[in-house]
Structure 1
Amino acid sequence: MSTTGTTSTTSVSVDIYVDCSIEHAFRVFTEGIVSWWNPDHHLLDAPLETMTFEPRAGGHIIDRYADGSECRWARVLAYEPPTRVAFSWDVSLDWHPESDLDKTSEVEVTFVAVGPQRTHVVLTHSNLDRHGDGWESMRDAVNRGWDLRRYAEVASDG
């Protein structure tokens, strides 16, 4: 498992090689998102109970909490198993849900089989300037936060 990353002016890109089939890599990223997502990276304060990635364009990524609250912090923009998924990043600069869709960025993840049990995964978080004045703080935060090593560990264990 190796990982690399790059940052441009308004986007962040990371990639990793995962030791599993492309189908499994896609399923773990989407259906299994709670298994690898950093438990400290959620928008509400209550303990997280579930994290759901609705498997269709027009769906959402939804966090549900122990106190009964829920947070829909992303809209699924593309769902093309097993090669591509894209979602909005409906998160404000102060790390709350963003309701102004003109102030949201986008995350695209592509999966390319490089062998029957090896997949190259590339995540690109783009249009970060849409977050408005101070958007560079979001770019810097996601540049530190998009570490796919835990995802690769979970996907490779399957």
Structure 2
Amino acid sequence: MTHSAMTVVRREVVVNAPIERAFAVFTERFGDVKPREHNLLQVPIVETVFEPRVGGHIYDRGADGSECRWARILAFEPPNRVVFSWDIGPTWQIETDLDLTSEVEVTFVAETPARTRVELEHRHLDRHGPGWESVRDGVDNDAGWPLYLDRYRSIFELGRGLAPPAVRGSR
């Protein structure tokens, strides 16, 4: 295994949705994708917010109003790709030195007008410094990106990702 292969985690999933909807569900409903038990706050998470713009953040808001900003939006190109930082270090705490963070690129590829392949690449894991392998192992195991993508896919399988949130449930 090459050094670069060891510092990158790649996963993909296919969803039965047009590319625009696949992108929107990932970014607008990221709180349904990220398990609430993945929590760096001292209190339960009440919501995970994905700010849809370059310079925005992904953050968790706690029951007491506290926030944990654990990612920065580096690229936002609907409906094709989004890139965000991973500001969580090897000790599973927020990393404030931006030189010691990795990045996640999520690319959306239309396979048909109603089917989209979502490719996730978590790269530059070695930037986390000593112990970076624990970040790689954490995001690559069943409770990491595979879990997130399974939860994402289930939104579509259960029919909850078909209509925009404002339309869902109306007649």
Q: Relative contact order: is structure 1 or structure 2 higher (C-alpha 8 Å, sep ≥ 6)?
A: 1
Is 1:136 aligned with 2:133?
A: yes
Q: How far apart, in 2, do the equivalents of 1:29 and 1:74 lie?
A: 15
Task: Report which of the two structures shows the higher radius of gyration computed on alpha carbons.
Answer: 2
Residue number among 29, 33, 45 corresponding to 2:42 in the alignment: 45
Identity %: 55
- CA RMSD in angstroms comes to 1.2
Q: Which runs of no fewer than 5 residues in structure 2 stay unpaired?
A: 163-171
User: For residue 4 of structure 1, what is the aligned residue in structure 2?
Assistant: none
SS in 1 for 2:72: strand
User: For residue 153 of structure 2, what is the aligned residue in structure 1?
Assistant: 152
Q: Which runs of no fewer than 5 residues in structure 1 stay unpaired?
A: 1-6
CA-to-partner distance for each residue in 1:31-88, whole Å, 9 max, x for gaps? 1101121222121131111111111111111111001210111000000000000000
Q: How far apart, in 2, do the equivalents of 1:57 and 1:47 lie?
A: 27
**Number of residue-to-residue matches in the alignment:** 152
Q: How far apart, in 2, do the equivalents of 1:154 and 1:8 lie?
A: 30
Q: Give me the TM-score of the superposition, normalised by structure 2.
A: 0.85
Q: How far apart, in 2, do the equivalents of 1:151 and 1:46 lie?
A: 24
User: For residue 13 of structure 2, what is the aligned residue in structure 1?
Assistant: 16
Q: Give me the TM-score of the superposition, normalised by structure 1.
A: 0.92
Q: Point out the more displaced range, 93-102 or 121-130.
A: 93-102
Aligned ranges for residues 44-63 of structure 1 at < 5 Å? 44-63=41-60
More strand by share: 1
